[in-house]
């Protein structure tokens, strides 16, 4: 067994994905505050921003963002369960289920937009 073999295990990958999704959300947050600032500064600026946000690429980005948010939320719930409940076999399957659920949320959002 190599020194980094643990990095191929599903639970380690789930922890990595949870951390990366948190970083992605942290990168998005200033843009969210910018949009809120436009809402405060005036109706014309907000209207212009809302028209820009109707582009298909922006809608796809929103779906990705929603998927990242769902992955982060479900990963956090998995961590809470891991820390506060008894260990169970099948934790890796639950991590995979969380990713599949997050992808389903993102695809459902895409289906509702397009």
Question: Coil, strand or helix: which one is 54?
Answer: coil
Q: How far apart are CA 81 and CA 87, in angstroms?
A: 9
Give tens-digit pLDDT for 54-103: 999 998 898 889 888 988 988 888 788 777 877 777 777 877 887 788 88
Domains of the chain: 12-113 (1.20.1300.10)
Element (H, E) at 104: helix 91-113
User: Is the four-CA dihedral 19, 24, 27, 33 of positive or negative sign?
Assistant: negative
Question: Coil, strand or helix: which one is 55?
Answer: coil
Give tens-digit pLDDT for 8-54: 777 788 888 889 999 999 999 998 998 888 888 888 888 888 899 89
- Reply yes or no on whether the pLDDT at 3 is more than 80: no
Q: How far apart are CA 17 and CA 96, in angstroms?
A: 11
């Amino acid at each position: 067994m190599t020194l980094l073999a643990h990095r191929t295990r599903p639970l380690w990958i789930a922890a990595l994905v949870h951390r990366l999704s948190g970083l992605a959300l942290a990168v998005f947050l200033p843009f969210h505050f910018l949009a809120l600032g436009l809402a405060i500064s005036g109706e014309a600026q907000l209207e212009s921003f809302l028209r820009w946000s109707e582009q298909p690429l922006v809608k796809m980005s929103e779906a990705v963002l929603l998927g990242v948010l769902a992955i982060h939320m479900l990963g956090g719930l998995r961590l809470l369960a891991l820390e506060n409940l008894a260990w169970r076999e099948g934790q890796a399957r639950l991590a995979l289920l969380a990713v599949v659920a997050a992808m389903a949320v993102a695809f459902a959002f895409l289906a509702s937009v397009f």
